[in-house]
């Protein structure tokens, strides 16, 4: 088995220089660092995570808490986090918070306190006071993406403003009969996101003097199938059909477009559809959306954690993340 001594002999430097060069900690000349890396690559040497942890007090591992692993948004945020951390030599441990209260208690009472992670990123999850306190007691950097918590540094998109932008786009096109596909009450339990998007939608309609019809508010589960079923109820129901639909996620918006086509309706001639997220399938379906750059959210959170770990930087209490309306072919002025 190749050892650090073998690398040192091949590179013609001390073992201390090898350690500094491969860990990125301490002063090493560019020439020596390159020789060490070349020697390590040639010999197939990999730094022992256990030895590195003992020497530095670091695990080189970041814990990421998510409420769902099977939803596109969370997977995309995770990709941004993982890619950024792995480029800097960090691993990722996922903690999936399920509906099982016992599992949740185990994560916060035990799993995160075993000193197996150097930092924690919580993605769009509502933390209780006791859970936040337990995270802070561990004494490691903690960053929240989208989850409201005044005691944690937070990266967040203004979902009220996102919804206003989506509804405002439809209103400027001339739509006044606009439906909203949001979240079922049980899905909103963990997030404030669906509620904020519905409130932003309602505020935009009120500002424009457009009537809010309760029969045009449909709950769904942020999936393509859920959006499809909700749109069928909206477009094939007994009431007056809306001229536009604002879905609180791109997946639901895609489901709405499929439902419209099944009913023989043209998008956007008969009904316009807009979503939120910036889903990679949006361009394929020609979906107008409010892109909230989820991969960028993960990259930014990971970069902030790295700054806190490696540079001792303080995280801002709150960082408002960007979003952008991306106009495609699924929205147009209403006919007539």
CA distance 227 to 306: 38
CA distance 5 to 255: 60
Could you name the CATH architecture of 4-56? Answer: Orthogonal Bundle (1.10)
pLDDT, average across residues 283-310: 94
Could you name the CATH architecture of 61-156+295-317? Answer: 3-Layer(aba) Sandwich (3.40)
Cβ distance 97 to 65 under 8 Å?
Answer: yes
pTM of the model: 0.79
In three-state secondary structure terms, 271 is coil
- Asked which of 24-28, 58-62, 279-283, 315-319 is least confident by mean pLDDT, the reply is 24-28
Of residues 77 and 184, which shows the higher confidence score?
77
Q: Do domains 61-156+295-317 and 159-291 have the same CATH topology?
A: yes
Give the pLDDT confidence score for residue 242 in this predicted structure: 95
pLDDT of 56 above 50: no
Give the pLDDT confidence score for residue 139 in this predicted structure: 83
- CA quadruple 231, 282, 249, 210: dihedral positive or negative? negative
Cβ distance 255 to 223 under 8 Å?
Answer: yes
CA distance 60 to 54: 11
How many CB atoms lie under 10 A from the CB of residue 322?
A: 11
Give the pLDDT confidence score for residue 48 in this predicted structure: 56
Q: What kind and span of H or E run contains 38?
A: helix 30-43
- Asked which of 84-98, 111-125, 252-266 is least confident by mean pLDDT, the reply is 111-125
Superfamily of domain 159-291 in the CATH hierarchy:
Response regulator (3.40.50.2300)
Cβ distance 90 to 121 under 8 Å?
Answer: no
pLDDT of 53 above 50: no
Q: Where are the domains of the chain?
A: 4-56, 61-156+295-317, 159-291
Of residues 185 and 154, which shows the higher confidence score?
154
pLDDT, average across residues 204-228: 93
pLDDT digits (tens, 9 = 90+) for 125-152: 877 788 888 888 888 888 999 866 778 8
Give the pLDDT confidence score for residue 327 in this predicted structure: 97
Give the pLDDT confidence score for residue 55 in this predicted structure: 46
- CA quadruple 204, 206, 209, 210: dihedral positive or negative? positive
Q: What kind and span of H or E run contains 143?
A: strand 142-145
Helical ranges in 113-221 per DSSP H:
129-138, 159-173, 193-208
Beta bridge partners of 160: none
pLDDT, average across residues 225-239: 91
Phi then psi dihedrals of residue 15, to 5 deg: -65, -30
């Amino acid at each position: 088995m190749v050892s650090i001594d073998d690398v040192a002999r091949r590179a013609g430097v001390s073992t201390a220089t090898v350690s500094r060069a491969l860990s990125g900690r301490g002063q090493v000349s560019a020439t020596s660092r390159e020789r060490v890396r070349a020697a390590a690559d040639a010999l197939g040497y990999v730094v022992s995570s256990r030895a590195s942890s003992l020497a530095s007090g670091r695990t080189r591992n970041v814990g990421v808490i998510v409420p769902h692993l099977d939803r596109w948004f969370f997977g995309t945020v995770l990709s941004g986090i993982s890619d950024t951390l792995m480029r800097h030599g960090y691993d990722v441990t996922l903690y999936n918070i399920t509906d099982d209260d016992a599992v949740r208690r185990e994560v916060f009472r035990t799993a995160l306190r075993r000193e197996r992670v150097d930092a924690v990123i919580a993605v769009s999850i509502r933390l209780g006071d006791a859970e936040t306190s337990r995270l802070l007691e561990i004494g490691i950097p903690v960053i929240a993406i989208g989850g409201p918590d005044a005691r944690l540094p937070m990266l967040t998109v203004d979902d009220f403003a996102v919804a206003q932008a989506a509804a405002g786009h439809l209103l400027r096109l001339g739509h006044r009969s606009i439906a909203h596909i949001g979240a079922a009450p049980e899905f909103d339990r963990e997030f404030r996101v669906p509620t904020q998007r519905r409130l932003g939608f309602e505020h935009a309609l009120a500002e424009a003097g457009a009537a809010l019809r309760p029969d045009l508010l449909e709950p769904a589960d942020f999936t393509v199938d859920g959006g499809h079923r909700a749109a069928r109820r909206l477009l094939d129901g007994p009431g007056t059909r809306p001229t536009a639909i604002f879905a609180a996620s791109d997946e639901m918006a895609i489901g709405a477009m499929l439902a419209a086509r099944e009913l023989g309706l043209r998008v956007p001639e008969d009904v316009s559809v807009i979503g939120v997220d910036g889903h990679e399938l949006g361009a394929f379906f020609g979906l107008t959306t409010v892109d909230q750059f989820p991969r960028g959210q993960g990259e930014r959170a990971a970069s902030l954690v790295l700054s806190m770990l490696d540079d001792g930087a303080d995280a801002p209490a709150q960082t408002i993340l960007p979003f952008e309306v991306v106009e495609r072919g699924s929205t147009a002025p209403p006919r007539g």
